[in-house]
Amino acid sequence: MQKELPFKEQPSVKKKSGYQQYEDYKVMLNLSDVSFGTKGHNKFYEITLYRKEHGLYLLVTKWGRVGAKNPQSQNFSFSSKFDAIKEFKDKFFEKTHNDWDNRDRFLPIHYYILSRLLDSHLLLENTQCFPLISAKVQV
């Protein structure tokens, strides 16, 4: 059985606003490089696409250092599903240098995907792409 990790809802997207996450268009990315500078890099980038009734779309990006108290965020509104999905895929490519539609063959070139599902089988499969996610998680 797979369970989602409890990621915080974006503060700018309130439940009463009527937006709901659109399909599987949500991803949490990480970039870690201990050799960079005195503190190294340990950054995250989250991309989520929301849909509201009547075909309105909202792309929310959030980024910063892991553990930052005030990460930055930015919202983009779209009236076209095509444009919203294209922008989501463009942001994903910009950060990872991989295509969203081919993420099952993901190569960790820049940012890498953090798995949101707790499933020992999935984690073991991802170990070769994500060496930092190597321990089994029990729920």
Output the pTM of the full model.
0.71
Q: What is the mean pLDDT of the chain?
A: 77
pLDDT at residue 131 is higher than 50: no
Q: How many domains does the chain have?
A: 1
pLDDT class for 4, splitting at 50, 70, 90?
Answer: very low
In a domain, residue 25? The reply is yes
20 lies in some domain = yes
Which residues span the domain enclosing 61? Answer: 7-117
The arithmetic mean of pLDDT across residues 50-70, rounded, is 92
Token pair, residue 25, equals 């268009």
Q: Is residue 122 part of a domain?
A: no
Q: What is the DSSP letter of 45?
A: E
Task: Look at residue 56 and tell me if it is in a domain.
Answer: yes
Q: Hey, what are 3's tokens?
A: 């369970």
Rounded Cα distance between 60 and 47, Å, is 6
Neighbours of 6 (CB within 10 A): 7
- The pLDDT score that the predictor gives to residue 17 is 81
